[in-house]
Structure 1
């Protein structure tokens, strides 16, 4: 018989706009849509800046790689009969690309490299991973199938795929395919102009993304077979290596590695890459969003002690940005200064109260005269005008802060034992945390600065002058003039060694800086001060320079917590970030099953201890029943 079953009516899922999530559980979020749009705008700017920066960092590496690839098969293209060239043609050109242990970042690098090679060298670029090539058969199949996809002539793609299904994959078939492809011409159709270096006998570039993970037998067999067909199948290998070039000789015996003509290419250090990212995204007034010391410490700790991944660091930065705009209603003012001033005019009474509740603003009000305190707490118009002024002061604070921070880094980055850190991010974290001039490391750095030689001091001052001159905003104009004056005074000192009343402290001052001589000179200087001996002109001038930079630090490198309205631009919820990024799977599962409200944030799931709501998920009820029975 025939039976008719009516399908159950399924409710169509209603998609909720992402910005609506900003409203959930927030009573004071009338600007949620604007906050979300601001978040998207800032993140897109940060993302494009990051991509551009990564392209610039990879440019030198890719340029040298492309030069290597272009010259590798010049002998094959010329068909040289020279004995030396014939010997060289038996070796497979191989680029050992040392990328570091940050494996999660390798995919982006290989994607960019593939695009660069296809644009500049050859259309035949294949990328293989060890998990797809457990044996020689799968290796050749993957190689053949990807080469089919590299074909420029779309019309012949389907024909070749049919041929591939019928043909047994081997180096002979690959060689035959290559010869047919490169020699095939169609006189009936006009062809696009192609440069001879790119299209005349173009090499096949094979990228092994994770060379360490390939089995020794597969690598050995492929290299031996490929070297025998190199005269008809011009192959170039690129080994993606996470550890060290030594791994090549561990995986391959000498008889096999001698078939490779290896050249090593080193990518930028992960730590240097991190410093560049922080420098471009955080140590600038281009982006108003900033991280507190604890949040930045969490992100850098995960990077340095866990994965060395720049991509994960940037994702953590994106999460911090999203959390800031979600949890802080006043983040609506976290935008460029002219736009923030415009938005202040449209703040609601509720948002004005949010400003008054800020801890930094309350401290600011307490320092004002009584009349101004009353106006700030009762007059909305006066409050908005004062908020505009405070945001402008915060912008000027950041401009001066980053300039002085870079100048201080120029002074301290070359000191022995690096008392304030070697990278600018280390110095930045210290300055965010506390008054840096109260630390022992800062006092130690000043002592070492008082031992600098004349040429070193002049070099550092010239770098500081360049830093200040490169800034488009001239808030530190007098500082720039003062550095110029100090440089002129140093240059005017006589090159001839001055006579001294006591021991040769001048000669000590003009020595190249090293730890032993610095410690010895420091003891001598203390002794000279104790006995009241006269200082030379250079020593007096050097003392002026050190005191000058010390005054700059004390005036401009105040911690952000001292600035009114810093909460508008600084994300400080380190515990929230820690919960999201430092995963604890067992604890997370236990919490989710015992208290589903913690993650679902559904009011119906709220209950007193020992009670189970009716809407609780079945798995949570089953766990509670099991636990009760076991108890």
Structure 2
């Protein structure tokens, strides 16, 4: 794009839109590395379908869990504002009117989930209480001026404010000092200009529509400056009769923080009511129950993968959003790395897709370890057919997929039944939460563990009322199922309940206790010893009561259900199709190891840059590596204190190793360039935290790390 002009000038070249880079479809990324398969697009579409279904289920669950909290908050705000409207002209209530209605909303330490909660809360309040809802964060309000400025700007941007009013105020705010007087006058003008011809849905018999409250949400109340909070509360209480304000404090720790930040003179100006959100652990249990402990979604997690996700949740952030993102990553990795994940869909669709499996996919099925074990247990004729006849293989695959679906249906029913027993026992031998029991059942045969043996012993000591209550819960669990194999289980439990109700243990115990002596007669030591032996024999030879016999039958029945239906997933053929087991891959993505990553990048830049020139033998320092890599490798050879002069000379030697001959010398300009490159590399290492300046020696730096990694 040269020009033939001989004079100096400025030339404009229009871009060639025809050569614009075309974006690559997302599903094409599945066609890389170990994901090579002819079902790329279908796998990607299946992943999108399953994830969208799980995402919508999670969002619906979040709305249901927040509904009670939002309803109680809405009722509190409406009640507080109606009380203000009724008593606004009563001079005896002027003291009460100086108290700002305040809702202390305790959300927990999962701070990353708070934005979603506040977003839903803001939408709910705007639909049910007032159009004027403002959310502020501490980072945007370092002082009172910025606090009021943010408050005014968000109030102006409210949807229900007319465009003309917004323009007028926006022209005023450049030349206006923000204050509560300005807010009061703005609120008075806005409420007086409300159109009286609004629909009946937006008008109420009271004057709430014409003077709606202003709800101010402080998302992170603990982070606000104490002076800013105190000044705003004191000023707002003086203007409450002109500017009806309601506060909502978002609290992550404890409500005690309010009294720690605000003195009594300020906190007495607040009419505080406490609201508690659902516990993070309870929320996690509900999410697992809706997404994993069900046959609605075919995708499942192995024990190690589920343990990685729950450990990150319990020991790092308590964030449900991060847990769901980890679940999404697991689904994506499963459909990317497993070619047979094309069958990870609902049962009818999976059966249909088996008819269109290619020869390569049939070979992939034969390579599965679970399918190999299944073939080894078959007759010789069937083994030959499974390994040679593709039509027979597809028919058998359909049957195995159906068996896998039935297995999951029965598995989750028996798991919930067993959890009803374990959650009511002392010390919780198999865990208090169902996810703990689920992880144990995924890992091994649960009946081989010592905890399960102690569980059976405790079940054989349950009282009649406790046992009947648990059996009623189990009966409701099995009644909700439409499975064929466990269809009669509910009837069996109902029969047990009927037998318990017909028992009359009191008469039997009275009849049995009448034959025992009430006390020892006055006699010598020999006869006393004889009486004790007789009583011991009577106690050991005592027959069990009808209740004990029936209780033993119930325990044996539950034990048989566990042994029949709680087999680990590894025992099921084709379980690799629906189970994601690459826990190490998930751990590498989610558990950050910055020190290892930095050492790998600086010690072996080829690992990330994939440049063939950077390949070198271990222990060598190539001059083609980035400057920071050369400086890093040289600093590994030094002790705690590094001489900058020696370091610089070694750096220059490595950089110019390929360019210099035995007799050649470096020019002064090249030396200055190398020196500048060395200074930049050292500065970058200091920024990363590998070295620091030291006062012990002026021309030395101190090494902050020791060892290779």
**Structure-1-length-normalised TM-score:** 0.91
Counterpart among 176, 197, 206 of residue 185 in structure 2? 176
Comparing 314-323 with 466-475, greater Cα deviation is found at 466-475
1:200 equivalenced with 2:206 (yes/no) = no
- Secondary structure of the equivalent of 1:127? strand
**Unaligned runs of at least 5 residues, structure 1:** 505-526
Question: Distance in 2 between the 1:64 and 1:435 partners?
Answer: 46
1:362 equivalenced with 2:390 (yes/no) = no
Is contact 1:500–1:536 with CA below 8 Å preserved after alignment?
A: no
Is contact 2:601–2:608 with CA below 8 Å preserved after alignment?
A: yes
Distance 1:567 1:185, change over 3 A: closer
CA apart distance, 1:609: 3.4
Distance 1:242 1:622, change over 3 A: closer
Question: Distance in 1 between the 2:581 and 2:606 partners?
Answer: 25
Question: Distance in 2 between the 1:545 and 1:320 partners?
Answer: 40
Aligned residue number for residue 511 of structure 1? none
CA apart distance, 1:367: 0.5
Is contact 2:505–2:547 with CA below 8 Å preserved after alignment?
A: no
Is contact 1:413–1:423 with CA below 8 Å preserved after alignment?
A: yes
1:435 equivalenced with 2:445 (yes/no) = yes
Is contact 2:602–2:628 with CA below 8 Å preserved after alignment?
A: no
Question: Distance in 2 between the 1:103 and 1:302 partners?
Answer: 15
1:65 equivalenced with 2:70 (yes/no) = no
CA apart distance, 1:155: 3.1
- Secondary structure of the equivalent of 1:41? helix
1:459 equivalenced with 2:469 (yes/no) = yes
Is contact 1:216–1:252 with CA below 8 Å preserved after alignment?
A: yes
- Secondary structure of the equivalent of 2:34? coil
Distance 1:457 1:592, change over 3 A: same
CA apart distance, 1:85: 3.6
- Secondary structure of the equivalent of 1:265? strand
Aligned residue number for residue 522 of structure 1? none
Counterpart among 605, 623, 630 of residue 629 in structure 2? 623
Question: Distance in 1 between the 2:452 and 2:38 partners?
Answer: 46
1:157 equivalenced with 2:166 (yes/no) = yes
Counterpart among 117, 122, 126 of residue 118 in structure 1? 126
Question: Distance in 2 between the 1:151 and 1:397 partners?
Answer: 53
Counterpart among 206, 225, 242 of residue 215 in structure 1? 225
Deviations 1:512-532 (A, max 9, x none): xxxxxxxxxxxxxxx999934
Question: Distance in 2 between the 1:258 and 1:369 partners?
Answer: 83
Counterpart among 539, 548, 570 of residue 539 in structure 1? 548
Question: Distance in 2 between the 1:564 and 1:575 partners?
Answer: 23
Question: Distance in 2 between the 1:449 and 1:529 partners?
Answer: 25
Distance 1:374 1:613, change over 3 A: farther
Comparing 29-38 with 465-474, greater Cα deviation is found at 465-474
Aligned residue number for residue 508 of structure 1? none
**Unaligned runs of at least 5 residues, structure 2:** 1-6, 515-535, 635-649, 655-709
1:30 equivalenced with 2:31 (yes/no) = no
Is contact 1:75–1:85 with CA below 8 Å preserved after alignment?
A: no
CA apart distance, 1:5: 5.2
Q: How does 1:304-383 map to 2 (within 5 A)?
A: 304-383=314-393
- Secondary structure of the equivalent of 2:278? coil
Higher RCO (C-alpha 8 Å, min separation 6): 1
Number of aligned positions between the proteins: 604
**Structure-2-length-normalised TM-score:** 0.81
Distance 1:28 1:440, change over 3 A: same
Q: Of the two, which has the highest radius of gyration?
A: 2
Deviations 1:176-224 (A, max 9, x none): 111111112457xx43442326523110000000000001100000000
CA apart distance, 1:561: 0.5
Question: Distance in 2 between the 1:408 and 1:468 partners?
Answer: 12
Is contact 1:97–1:266 with CA below 8 Å preserved after alignment?
A: yes
Distance 1:489 1:178, change over 3 A: same
1:257 equivalenced with 2:263 (yes/no) = no
- Secondary structure of the equivalent of 2:102? strand
Is contact 1:211–1:239 with CA below 8 Å preserved after alignment?
A: yes
